[in-house]
Amino acid sequence: MELSGTLVLAGLIIALLWLFSMKSRRSSCLPPGPPALPVIGNLLQLDKKAPFKTLLKLSEKYGPVLTVYLGRQRTVVLVGYDALKEALVDQADDFTGRGPLPLLVRVTKGYGLVISNGERWQQLRRFTLMTLRDFGMGRKGMEEWIQEESKHLVARIKNTQATAFDPTYFLSCSVSNVICCLVFGQRFSYDDDHFVSLLQTISEVLRFFSSPWGQLYNIFPRLMELLPGRQHTLFARIELLREFIMEKIQEHQETLDPNSPRDYIDCFLNRHHQEIHIPTTEFHFDNLVSTVLNLYLAGTETTSSTIRFALSVLIRYPEIQEKMQQEIVSVIGQERCPCMEDRKSLPFTDAVLHEIQRFMDLIPMSLPHYTLRDISFRGYTIPKDTIILPLLHSVLREEKYWNTPWSFNPQHFLDQNGNFKKNPAFLPFSTGKRSCVGESLARMEIFLFLVSLLQHFTFSCSGGSDSIDLSPEYSSFGNIPRRYMIIATPRW
């Protein structure tokens, strides 16, 4: 009897909590959404392997602005281009907050560009964009670094002598070296064991973020800190990455010439010395370490994964690969290194590269935004401390803007005359004031690396084009492409 009474009491408490949460939702004029359970919210309703698919399905019933609960965390989801643009662009100041994503907070210790808000975020973003522009992001300096690195990449692939190899390692080294030139002022050998170990850590970070275990950490961080699991191994490896960055900063401090900054770290140290007597300065050691970590993590794995996925696409559709090669040779020839100026003369190639990014849908739920105050949006009141999820997946697959959203189709970016055309719903880097600071760099790398590779090689695999599966290996925070052993046959 005592046990049954306890169960009844527990049931009543749960029911009361549920009713209270529903009443709170109505009284605060939140967007509509499915009923949520106490403590776990709507977690049982979500596809743990691809939660963004569940959110897209829920929007069919509740509309393009809906409320769900990820555990106890109130979350408003924005679905479709119109909702995202209205929030992130038209009401940009209301939606500039960044959600305190526990994994990112743990990795960065709460410092750096990506996780910050307010004055810290404004200062670090402004400084980072200015510094990247000064070092040629979207201009000649950066272009020459990528061109030089592409020669190393081509040479390494030639050494495979048309035998099967996994391109993951080579691509990670090449893309990472571009970031290393920008941040550290140096590149590393592909044979440097320490460098390779750091790249493996970076790769593991995105894979863990995209695993169910990683998503559980974001929802129940305190519990996950107590439980055994791979998160502890990952955090230990990230500490090694932080130590590497701190060593590089120390080297820069010892060799700094204020009149001749070599890279991002030098520029940051100069700003630090200028503001050393300002108590509220954001240009201090903790922000430098975590911002460099932000740039290194975000700038390596995302771009290298995109190029790796692009190679799988070209093997899957050999006729597209051949048409790109014909266009590239007719414009650039066999020997000259590609440059960004060539892009306007390569409309089909440009269209394919855009379609690769759209179809890959790398970060389907974007990084979460956060309401730093109560805001009004589309007649709803969204309370302070609400997570905002801009569902980029819904924009990149929206039938209103794409003729065949679920198929790979370069015609999405070509007009009837074969000229390249822009599409406002092409938002793989998000939009608004929190869009990716490295967008110009990533677009430059994708273009220059892939055009250079197609200039020199034809890509295939032993199983034939039909053996390539373009669906992701992992889906959640990121859509991680499958790995294949591929063959690069020299063209000349």
Q: What is the pLDDT of residues 447-473, one digit of tens each?
A: 999 999 999 999 999 999 999 999 998
Kindly state the greatest CA–CA separation across the chain.
Answer: 86
Rounded to whole angstroms, the Cα distance separating 346 from 330 reads: 9
Q: In 3-state terms, the chain is what percent helix, strand and coil (to 5)?
A: 55, 10, 35
Who contacts 169 (Cβ-Cβ below 8 Å, separation ≥6)? Answer: 190, 196, 199
pLDDT at position 482 = 95
Lowest-confidence range among 10-14, 62-66, 345-349?
10-14
Who contacts 472 (Cβ-Cβ below 8 Å, separation ≥6)? Answer: 479, 480, 481, 482
Per-residue pLDDT at 8 exceeds 50:
no
For 111-356+425-490, CATH gives 1.10.630.10
For residue 127, the Cα-to-chain-centroid distance in whole angstroms is 21
41 band by pLDDT with thresholds 50, 70 and 90: very high
Rounded to whole angstroms, the Cα distance separating 92 from 375 reads: 11
Q: What are phi and psi of 45, to 5 degrees?
A: -85, -20
Closest CA to 427 of 61, 138, 81: 81
Q: Could you report the per-residue pLDDT of 241-275, keeping only the tens digit for each?
A: 999 999 999 999 999 999 999 999 999 999 999 99
Q: Could you report the per-residue pLDDT of 50-91, keeping only the tens digit for each?
A: 999 999 999 999 999 999 999 999 999 999 999 999 999 999
Tokens at 158, concatenated: 């030639």
Rounded to whole angstroms, the Cα distance separating 208 from 101 reads: 14
∠ at Cα 449 (447, 452), nearest 5°? 100
Tokens 């909702």 sit on residue: 83
pLDDT at position 138 = 45
Rounded to whole angstroms, the Cα distance separating 45 from 67 reads: 13
Tokens at 118, concatenated: 């307010």
Closest CA to 151 of 329, 343, 335: 335
pLDDT at position 362 = 95
159 band by pLDDT with thresholds 50, 70 and 90: very high
Q: Could you report the per-residue pLDDT of 271-295, keeping only the tens digit for each?
A: 999 999 999 999 999 999 999 999 9
Residue 105, classified by CB atoms within 10 Å of its CB into exposed (0-12), middle (13-18) or buried (19+), is middle
Phi-psi region of 450 (alpha: psi -120 to 50; beta: other; left: phi over 0): alpha
* Domain with residues 1-100+362-396, CATH architecture: 2-Layer Sandwich (3.30)
Who contacts 87 (Cβ-Cβ below 8 Å, separation ≥6)? Answer: 78, 94, 95, 377, 388, 390, 432
Domain boundaries in the chain?
Answer: 1-100+362-396, 111-356+425-490
Average pLDDT, the chain: 92
Percentage of the chain surpassing pLDDT 90? Answer: 82
Rounded to whole angstroms, the Cα distance separating 337 from 334 reads: 9
pLDDT at position 140 = 54
Closest CA to 46 of 74, 69, 17: 69
pLDDT at position 133 = 83
1 band by pLDDT with thresholds 50, 70 and 90: very low
Q: Could you report the per-residue pLDDT of 305-324, keeping only the tens digit for each?
A: 999 999 999 999 999 999 99
Q: Could you report the per-residue pLDDT of 392-424, keeping only the tens digit for each?
A: 999 999 999 999 999 999 999 999 999 999 999
100 band by pLDDT with thresholds 50, 70 and 90: confident
